[in-house]
Amino acid sequence: MVSKDQKRWRIVAHIVMILLSALALLPFLLLIIASFTDETAALLNGYSYFPEKWSVEAYGYILENSGTFFRAYGVTLIVTVVGTIVSVVLTALTGYVLSKRNLPGVKVMNFIVIFTMLFNGGLIPTYVSYTNTFHIKDTLFALIIPNLLMNAFMIVLVRNYFEHSIPKEIYESARIDGANELYIFIKLVLPLSVPILATVALMAGIAYWNDWQNSLYYISDKNLYSIQAVLNSINEGVAAIASLGNSSAGMAADLPTETIRMAIAVVGILPILLVYPFFQKYFAKGLMAGAVKG
């Protein structure tokens, strides 16, 4: 039997969650509506959830320049798929090794991973290392490897999941039956780790899809621009022209308008919005299980 206090608490909790959900969803809704708003109406009245005039000219611009956007989409798709797969594999392998607390040297390896969560070499040494030593500038590797390929936080989550969420009896029985570590990892651990691996895949995929900094630092060939890099270059171009004042009116006429930039942003986030529901059921479970104190 539910008490009155519990009923009141549930009502308050539902109201709070509805408000928080609305605060998260309304900006996305405004972004989509703005992309379908007529440019003149947007300039006169600003963005509104109920625009005076609708238009699809922004998406017409994207279709007219489909070559640029489709190429950027292709680059983003390749980088996201390859980067996410490699990231999940490396994170799972590293987390599995670090979960073996009796392994010689594992404390040092754990310290190194935790250390990278607090300190790094800095932007300039990192840039010099990747460009002068590894020579990844203007290659797809520049969009996959720096900053995104492995994440210490994800490694710790996976390590804790392997250590605390998978019964130790499974490991022991497999070793008694003569299974080696590779067999245990592939046949037993991975099938039992779908929630945490799906969580890592989702977070890595979002990071790769939304990344524009690697393009900014390491890519000068516009044929290798991701969709986010295209949007960022457009925004920078508009800001640069605007800073020149009235004398730049002729140049500004050739740049995408506000509604067009909104449409590009919608096109950029659409795949994430479509994919997320399929991973949602694993997301919270994976984070909770991986966050167990190790």
Cα distances (Å, whole numbers) of residue 92 to 152, 174, 233, 280 = 12, 19, 35, 20
Predicted confidence at residue 144, as pLDDT, reads: 94
Domain CATH number, residue 122: 1.10.3720.10
Cα dihedral 35, 41, 47, 50 sign: negative
CA geometry: angle 276, 25, 229, nearest 5 deg: 65
Within a domain: 32 = no
Predicted confidence at residue 243, as pLDDT, reads: 56
Residue 289's CB: how many other CB atoms inside 10 A?
Answer: 18
CA geometry: angle 61, 265, 197, nearest 5 deg: 135
Q: Measure the CA–CA gap between 184 and 92, rounded to whole angstroms.
A: 13
Predicted confidence at residue 94, as pLDDT, reads: 93
What is the residue-averaged pLDDT of the chain? 83
Within a domain: 21 = no
Answering whether pTM is above 0.75, one says yes
Are 227 and 268 contacting, i.e. CB atoms less than 8 angstroms apart?
A: yes
Q: What is the total count of domains within the chain?
A: 1
In sequence order, what DSSP letters do the residues of 15-64 get, joined into one string?
HHHHHHHHHHHHHHHHHHHHHTB-HHHHHHH---SS-SSB--HHHHHHHH
Within a domain: 221 = yes
- The residue type found at 283 is F
Are 228 and 76 contacting, i.e. CB atoms less than 8 angstroms apart?
A: yes
Q: Which domain holds residue 261?
A: 58-290
Within a domain: 42 = no
Predicted confidence at residue 38, as pLDDT, reads: 87
Within a domain: 201 = yes
What is the length of the chain? 294
Are 94 and 150 contacting, i.e. CB atoms less than 8 angstroms apart?
A: yes
Phi, psi of 6 (to 5 degrees): -65, -40
Quick check: helix, strand or coil at residue 103?
coil
| HSE toward the beta carbon, residue 276, CA cutoff 13 A | 9
Cα distances (Å, whole numbers) of residue 43 to 126, 247, 274 = 43, 20, 31
Within a domain: 19 = no
Within a domain: 110 = yes
Within a domain: 2 = no
Q: Walk along the chain (294 residues) and give the pLDDT tens digit of each residue.
A: 667 778 888 899 999 999 998 998 898 899 899 889 888 888 788 888 888 888 888 888 888 878 888 898 899 999 999 999 999 999 999 999 999 888 888 899 989 988 888 887 788 888 999 999 999 999 999 999 998 888 888 999 899 888 888 888 888 888 888 888 888 899 888 988 888 898 899 889 989 998 989 998 999 888 899 988 888 887 776 555 455 554 444 444 455 567 888 888 888 888 877 777 776 666 555 555 544 444
Predicted confidence at residue 114, as pLDDT, reads: 87
Structure tokens at 31: 């972004």
Q: Using alpha carbons, select from 274, 264, 251 the residue that is nearest to residue 212.
A: 264
| HSE toward the beta carbon, residue 100, CA cutoff 13 A | 15
